[in-house]
Structures are given as C-alpha cells and as structure tokens.
Amino acid sequence: MRLDKFLKVSRIIKRRTVAKSIADQGRILINNKQAKSSSSVKAGDVLTIKFGNKTEKVKINQIVETTKKAEAENMYTIIDESFKEDFSNPF
C-alpha cells in the first residue's frame, strides 16, 4: 500500500493530500530511510513522522484497504512520541 494512503486509512493523518505533502517534504522516514508519498509500506515497517514540533514513531501492525474509525488504531502501534520545545518565543 502507498504511504499516503496508509496514513489516511489508519487516520494517523486525516487527509491524503496532507499526508502526500508531508511525505514529499521529506518529513517521513520508513525504516530510517527517506520516504515519498508513493513509497510502499508493509506490516513490520517503522515510520518516523515529523509534525512541526512533534515527532512520532509508529510500527505498522497490519495493512487494511478500508477500516472503521474504531478499528484504525489496530493498524499501528506508537513506539515513541517526542516533543521539541521552542523557548525562543516566550509568548
């Protein structure tokens, strides 16, 4: 399955166009390698996603073409979630 589609179906990122944009900006790694939106993902892959000041690392458990919102969380496991604080602007 394509990376951008997986991110949308799993609801890690709500819209596929946003997932494509983030991937094409170089903010997503698959198994520590730069990924494009068209990169293929499979069960067992580890994704590192940079959202502004937050970095999330998730492991893909399963690939499903469509899923309900309640079942989407079963598609992945969050391994690590870190925040980079910006103290340059106190307000």
pLDDT means over runs of 10, the chain (91 residues): 94 93 93 94 95 92 90 92 69 53
Cα separation, 60 vs 10, in Å, equals 10
| CATH of segment(s) 3-83 | 3.10.290.10
**Dist CA 17 CA 73 (whole Å):** 20
Chain Cα centroid distance, residue 73: 12
Residue 66: what pLDDT? Answer: 87
Which pLDDT score, from 0 to 100, does residue 67 have? 87
Please count the CA atoms within 13 angstroms of the CA of 83 that sit on its side-chain side.
Answer: 3
Domain boundaries, the chain: 3-83
Tell me if 36 sits within 8 A of 48, measured CB to CB.
no
- Terminal Cα distance for the chain, rounded: 42
